[in-house]
Amino acid sequence: MAALTLKPGSISLAELRRIVRGDDPIALADGWRGPVEASLAAVAKRLAAGEALYGINTGFGKLAKTRVSEGALATLQLYIVRSHAAGVGEPLADSTVRLVLALKTASLARGYSGVRPVVIERLLAFVNAGILPLVPSQGSVGASGDLAPLAHLSLALIGEGRVRVGGREMDSAAAMKAAGIEPLTLGPKEGLALLNGTQVSTALALEGLFAAEDLLAGSIVAGSMCVDAALGSRTPFDARIHNVRGQPAQIAVAAAFRAVLGESGIGHSHEHCDRVQDPYSLRCQPQVAGACLQQVENAARTLMLEANGVSDNPLVFGAEGDVLSGGNFHAEPVAFAADGLALALAEIGALSERRIAMLIDDSLSQLPAFLVREGGLNSGFMIAQVTAAALASENKSLAHPASVDSLPTSANQEDHVSMATFAARRLAPMAENTRGILAIELLAAAQGIDFRRPLQSSPALEKAHALLRAKVPFYDHDRHFAPDIAAAKSVISGDDLLALVPAGLLPSR
């Protein structure tokens, strides 16, 4: 298996997507050792001069004025890892931890953290051996870094704590011994450098970004299918309408809709009907999905910068020999990006739910009520739409911005925090909710297309219909509905369906 070679500071979104979605070995491009060794030498020189350096020979946070003796410097770094490993909650997903390890590796390899090369090598060894620390998902407020979760990750590097290997949980020491990896003995600043940083918040937000991209693409396919199922007009997708507004994301999304809608026998069948305008859930899809794409693009820019940046403290500038304390660990940019993605996920689902409601309403869609024959005997899609409404409503609550909240910590030394970790962590359940809504929409739209037979939809939509029908048959009478939704969820995020959306629309695809 070919290794994915990362250049610290220049990692692409496509590479980050590959890390979180795959298990390729990871390597660093040549040239990282020089800056790392220069920053390490700068720390050693300043220590030898007897200077007080935050977190290197002083306490942490409110205890920064407390000097630590030279003989206790290694113990200081060990103790910060152990004491800060105070997280709670369910462990982060293995995919998230893999990405966190890669992000921390890339950040330290930039050469501004004052750590030895062996620390970076040990992080890479964990990734490539598939040793994934068990990291509790709760306990970070997204300022002074993701301290608690990164402490749990760092604990595994020193041979303490628990890890997962191939899905099996075990002691870190046992996993390292089996892989032939020696536990890391921390040197000056190394515990602090491992704990400080926004890598957990950023990894969670990146996973939310990639999910939002997939769901936005899925919504274009499902929404296009709804247009044909409801005998909707193609006029609202005309390029001239979108060009005069001038919103680039809206223009791009409208073009994607036109490509998916294509030439359709169903579309041609009602070109001269007397309907003047469609409901907003059909007619305003480019405007709403375009606004969602804009949020995705904004988040993508922020998160790519953050993934390539250095966010621990203090920072070591080897060329000048300076050690500077600042606040790059404050994850406000990540929190804002995650809040924007939450808005997009909520709106993708909200508009999808409205299209489902429109399709099951025979007065609007001109389809059988609840998309089933012999209504009364059969309830059809009645409760499936209720499920979609429940999921959409839940997302509305989850979309409340997390970044506007702040609680002081560390005896008011850390008096404003970002809440970026929760802002990013809540994207996963939101994405799952939206995936469920889109799955129900795809089922409803395909049912509507079947009721329009023998007329055909566009080539792209017929492919989407066939992908679904390969797993879910036509709903001819009431049956257990949940398995159909589960099968449709696998289709809505599948590569075959997403390939029907023109390439280049989404930042990382």
Q: Which residues participate in catalysis according to the annotation?
A: 54
CA atoms of 307 and 312, how far apart (whole Å): 13
Does an H or E element contain 84, and which? Answer: helix 73-84
149 neighbors 137 (Cβ within 8 angstroms): yes
**409 bridge partner residues:** 414
Element (H, E) at 5: strand 4-6
Rounded-to-integer distance, Cα 220 and Cα 254, Å: 9
Instruction: List the beta strands (DSSP E) in 103-161.
Output: 131-133, 136-138
The crossing angle, in degrees rounded to 10, of helices 459-469 and 482-492 is 140
Q: List the structure tokens of 266.
A: 């169903």
Beta strands in 7-73 (DSSP E): 26-28
Neighbours of 221 (CB within 10 A): 28
Q: Return d(Cα 368, Cα 347) in angstroms, integer.
A: 27
Q: Calculate the CA 499 to chain-centre distance.
A: 20
Phi and psi at 90, nearest 5°, equal -65, 145
Query: 92: Cβ–Cβ under 8 A, 6 or more apart, which residues?
Result: 100, 135, 136, 137, 149, 200, 204
Whether the Cβ atoms of residue 502 and residue 217 lie closer than 8 Å to each other: no
DSSP 67: B
Structure tokens at 179: 């892989």
Matching residue, tokens 């007397």: 274
* Cis status of the peptide bond prior to 314, with omega within 30 of 0: yes
| Dist CA 219 CA 424 (whole Å) | 22
Among 127, 139, 150, smallest CA distance to 199 is for 150
